[in-house]
Structure formats: structure tokens, C-alpha cells
A and B are shown apart, each in its own frame.
Chain A
């Protein structure tokens, strides 16, 4: 079965650079979530989108922005990178809410961002 696809798998950037992470949800999933997982930490919710509109916002820094496109893929844009942004970034997708948020989120295998 198709899964959530994230690209790139690994990314190395220097401080103050920008980075763009991409997420392709499971077909017919129109809700996308972004999570950040620092070393030794649990995944932290950043932001979510439903039908190309921001649905919810968590602990996402102002330096980060995200959007969902008409084909439902999503991109997380990160500017003025800091050393502390080094983390695993996961994307997840789920069916639309009225199908039940009794429907699970399915996660991709993440993008490992290293800021040097």
C-alpha cells in the first residue's frame, strides 16, 4: 500500500540558510500534519492542514512556514536555520475529518535535517 513520502531523506545546511521539506500524503488523504523530533525527544506537533487551509498550529517557530498545495502535498519552509533546528521532521496524513478522527494518522519516515 502507498505510504507517506517525504523528501529529501537527509539534508545538511549551514546556519542562517534556508531549507524546504516536502511531504506527499497517501492518496485520498487531504489532511497533513508536521512534527519535529529533536535528539532524544518525543515528536512535537508543528502544524496541520486540511483542504489546503491551515487547521491547527503547535510549537512552530515564526521562522518556519508551511503550506498545502492543490494536489495535497505539503512543504515546510525553514529560514534562518539555527543549530537547534537539527532534528527529524515527520509528516503524517489522514483522511478528511468527517470520515472520523477515529481514522489514524500515517507517518512518513522523516527528513533528517542537520544544521552545521
Chain B
């Protein structure tokens, strides 16, 4: 089962920041938080990940609370092409080689509007 909870849908105005919340209250100390998005049945696209510190890359910023029980993905200037399903995933250490699979939950459908 997924270890995260996300709102099912959100709207955002084009050009504004999109803030997508995620709760992961049962996260373990060595488990990473990953964010992916899926646009129109394409393969899930990696966005960003973090362990305990805030992270930023060319796509987004990830803010993780100090207790690590929740996080927020920030798209600083949303465009229409950012309309997608966004998945917040706690990567589970698993398998005989600790390959760490991703378990997808329901995700947040972000609709960016003109």
C-alpha cells in the first residue's frame, strides 16, 4: 500500500506557483520522498526527491517538514504543460537486493488554467 496521502485534485492559474501537498506520517528515517508526474498516459516523469533537506532543481522545489511527516512540491511558475497527475511516493527499501520499488498511490490531478 502507498504510504502517502494527497488531495485528489487541484487547480492553479497559469504563471502562478503550484503548491502540491503530501502527507507521509509513517515514513521511516532512511526512506526518500519522490515526486513524479504523468502526462496523458506517458511514462511517469521524475521531478525531484529528497530525504530530509529541502531540494531544488530546474523543474521544482521540494519542501520537507522537519519531522518529515509531510512535504510540498512547488512548481514556481505553472504553465499549461504542467497539467498532469502528480505522485508523491515514499520509496520503500525492498527486494533481495534492496532495489527500492516505487508504490504509486492515487496522486493529485493538477489542472493549470489560463
- A-to-B contact residues, CB < 8 Å: 4, 31, 33, 35, 37, 42-45, 48, 50-51, 53-56, 58, 88, 90, 92, 94, 97, 101-102, 104-110, 112
| A55 touching B95 in the complex, CB below 8 Å, given contacts A90-B43, A107-B44 | yes
Sample of 6 more A-B contacts, CB < 8 Å, known A97-B97, A101-B32, A110-B43:
A37-B41, A53-B96, A94-B99, A97-B99, A97-B100, A107-B44
Complex contact B87–A55 (CB within 8 A): no
For B35, give the chain A residue with the smallest CB separation: A104
Select one of B93, B97, B100, B104 contacting A42, CB under 8 A: B104
Chief secondary structure at chain B's binding surface: loop
- B-to-A contact residues, CB < 8 Å: 32, 34, 38, 41-46, 49, 51, 87, 91, 93-107
